[in-house]
Structure 1
Amino acid sequence: MPGSSRHLMCFNSWPSQPRWEAAVIISTFHENTEAQRLGQSCPGSHSVSTPTASPAARPTELLTLTPWLAPIVSEGTFNAELLQHIYQPLNLTIGLTVFAVGKYTHFVQHFLESAELFFMHGYRVCYYVFTDDPTAIPQVPLGPGRRLGIIPIQRHSRWEEISTRRMEIISQHIAKRAHREVDYLFCVDVDMVFRNPWGPETLGDLVAAIHPGYYAVPRQQFPYERRHVSTAFVADGEGDFYYGGAVFGGRVANVYEFTRGCHMAILADKANGIMAAWQEESHLNRRFISHKPSKVLSPEYLWDDRKRQPPSLKLIRFSTLDKDTSWLRS
């Protein structure tokens, strides 16, 4: 996991970093406190156990700890009331980025309305909507301490190009603006909705979410980039989980380092005429192998509405909508 001092050095050259400094002060205490709370049985929760399954056989069962002892968050593994008591006095601001490009602007209203119902109640929230058509973004009523920023971006004809630019745009936005405005930042897809509360149990240094299609399949079936020529290459013996590109986040400085690293890798591939198998998601998975997340969200935080909910997933909090992908990308 990246060290705090290295990230602080990166931000020292910026004009102002009050949010980052506050995050550094609270980081060690709250990461340790929360990890302890998430790693203990809470009232009404099941006991925590370390993973025993062979990574090559079944690495993404609904476990409660990763092999490097980071908590895997799901319903029953945390005490929501206790976490609220810990985090609410800290006066945190949480950022949430989405990209609404082309026909994806149709999802913004439903996304924001669901976020107002379920995302980080009791905290200040900054929504950042990146769009090639600011006039298409609806005005959704927001609660106290919650605001919307609409950031114009360049229009691209190919959706693959949009996907590969996402990491670059997020890292640039953090450097220019978000590092002064938020303590934590989550980056999610707009064609999704919040269905149940998403709270401070998700906060951490660097946060990944397990892909709903690969949480209970052998590692050999993970769709990693397998070509040696790509910077996203993952060898057969590597990898712990397959993470979804639709949800990731963490402390704002860590998200900056993460997105910038992915962007640099994407640029290297582009210079060699290569596009990774699953664009930015391939690079995201490669980087999470070398930069382990401090917290992992179960598929309850990244579900697919086209799938039947298995008994092991108790409460779906955030899920992708069933949609006509070919129409959206046409």
Structure 2
Amino acid sequence: MNLLSIKAVSGIFLFVLLLGVMYNFNTNRTLEPSEKTEGTSVDGCAAKTITFCPEGHLKSPDHLKYKQPSIIHGRTNVVTVTPWLAPVVWEGSFNPNLLDAIYKPKNISIAATVFAVGKYTMFLKDFLETAEQHFFVGFTVHMHVFTDKPKEVPKVKMAAGRKLTVHTVPSADRWQEISARRMEIIQKLIEEELQDNTDYIFCLDVDSKFYDRWGTESLDRLVAVIHPGYYKTNRDVLPYERRPSSKAYIGLGEGDFYYCGGAYGGQVQEVHQLTKTCSENFKDDAKKGIEAAWQEESHLNRYMWINKPTKLLSPEYLWQDFKSKEPEIHTIRFSGVIKNYAAIRPNA
């Protein structure tokens, strides 16, 4: 080989080596502050570095015994996966003992928010007592109650590893105002108290109670609950915000499902991005004199149409007590209680 050929080969080798170093740097480096956006997702994982995903794989305890799973036997009267391949959780579609055994060693912490403003404090006792019986039993849970009447928050005995914090918020003359400002309050709660010490958060309606297990089967990055009143309804008649001038707008022929504003959640950083975006969009609408059809629920549905939830919970996870149980509903886990809106809402 002559001298010219040796130089050519050496040049190629050095070029390839340089490319390798640059690739390794770009795929493993920590994002610079100027590149970070709060809640920004990278490859579907809200993370501080490109290669880190907090969910990780699910590791089962060694030699755990459970019923053999099947891909040909199971629920056949409901859909258990969306077109974007997110699971839909129904009774009979998961093994609770297996999931609890997987998540217990992770030592996860779960926050839950609930708003009891005005006469809605009357629902707190049932909500909190039934949560102790059914909501993430055996796990670390921190309940955050937001109320304008802190003295009316009942004393509820809580199990080890579970606690309750009461936050005082202003009252309101319109129930729509209470609904509209919840997103901003949850956003601030995450920023000021939860982002460094909590893994998951669920945002729940107080005028509801638990009847059955709500646990680790509901965990994922971004979790939506399918509304019990509209899960059989054609999307063109769903109560989306239909005015194009609103940031919550979803047009005819658009949207996936109608999601509950009374129950949603996921990893803390994902819910932070959701609440921050919805709060900003609500404020942009207000500047134009627009209030979305169903306030936070309308903005939530718009957000989750674009940012697909990674797990959907069936209507078992927020049923309505006045409705009879449909054949596909094998259990009711969480449900809105029967109430007289004229008696409890300030402007019903």
TM bucket normalised to smaller? 0.7 to 0.9
Partner of 1:42: 69
State whether residues 38 and 273 of structure 2, in contact with CA within 8 Å, keep that contact through their aligned partners in structure 1: no
Q: Separation in 1 of the partners of 2:144 and 2:181?
A: 16
How many residues get paired? 298
Task: For 1:143-154, list aligned pairs within 5 A.
Answer: 143-154=159-170
1:272 has 2:288 as partner: yes
Pick from 329, 333, 337 the counterpart of residue 313 of structure 1: 329
Query: Equivalent residue for 2:189?
Result: 173
Bigger relative CO (Cα 8 Å, ≥ 6 apart):
1
Q: How does 1:1-330 map to 2 (within 5 A)?
A: 9-10=36-37, 26-30=54-58, 42=69, 46-47=73-74, 62-330=78-346
The one-character-per-residue Cα deviations of 1:113-151 (angstroms, maximum 9, x if unpaired) are 000000001100000001111111111100000000101
Residue 292 of structure 2 aligns to a residue whose secondary structure is coil
Q: Deviations over 1:248-278 (max 9, x none)?
A: 0000010000000100110000000000011
Moved more, 179-188 or 93-102: 179-188
Q: Secondary structure at the match of 2:145?
A: strand
CA 1:186–1:48 in 2, change beyond 3 Å: closer, same or farther?
same
Partner Cα distance (1:144, 1:43) in 2? 37
Q: Which amino acid aligns with 2:256?
A: D
- C-alpha distance in 1 between matches for 2:312 and 2:254: 18
C-alpha separation in 2, matches of 1:199 and 1:229: 39
Q: Secondary structure at the match of 1:327?
A: helix
- Tell me the CA shift for residue 88 of structure 1: 0.6
- Partner SS state of residue 136, structure 2: coil
Confirm or deny: 8 A CA contact 1:46 1:76 kept in the other structure: no
Q: Once the two structures are aligned, what percentage of the paired residues are identical? A: 46
Letter matched to residue 88 of structure 2: I
Kept in 2: contact 1:42–1:77 (CA 8 A): no
- Deviation sequence 1:36-76 (CA, Å, 0-9, x none): xxxxx837995368xxxxxxxxxxx8310011010000101
Structure 1 runs (4+) greater than 4 angstroms displaced: 43-46
Counterparts of 2:136 and 2:69, CA distance in 1: 21
- Please give the per-residue CA displacement for 1:90-134, whole angstroms capped at 9, x wherever unaligned: 111111100010000111111000000000011000000011111
Distance 1:46 1:114, change over 3 A: farther
CA distance in structure 1 between the aligned counterparts of 2:72 and 2:104, rounded to whole angstroms: 22
| Contact persistence 1:304–1:320 (CA under 8 A) | yes
Query: For residues 279-328 of structure 1, what are the alpha-carbon distances to aligned partners after superposition, in whole Å with 9 as ceiling and x for unaligned?
Result: 11110000001100000000000101111101101011000000011111
TM-score by length of 2: 0.81
CA distance in 1, matches of 2:344, 2:73: 41
- RMSD over aligned Cα atoms: 2.4
Q: Quick one: distance in 1 between partners of 2:275 and 2:264?
A: 10
**Distance in structure 1 (CA, Å) of the matches to 2:54 and 2:138:** 18
8 Å CA contact retained: 1:185, 1:252? yes
Q: Distance in 2 between matches of 1:276 and 1:63?
A: 30
**Alpha carbons 1:43, 1:79 under 8 Å: kept:** no
C-alpha separation in 2, matches of 1:42 and 1:193: 31
Question: Matched residues in 1 for 2:326 and 2:135: separation?
Answer: 24
3-state SS, counterpart of residue 196 of structure 2? helix
Check the 8 A contact 2:75/2:92 in 1, yes or no: no
Q: Give 1:11 shift.
A: 5.4
Gaps of 5+ in 1: 13-19, 34-40, 50-60
Write out per-residue CA displacement over residues 226-261 of structure 1, whole angstroms, 9 at most, x where no aligned residue. Answer: 111111110112111000101000000100000001
Q: Which amino acid aligns with 2:245?
A: V
Q: What is the identity, as a one-letter code, of the residue corresponding to 1:168? A: E
Alpha-carbon separation, structure 1, partners of 2:85 and 2:73: 17
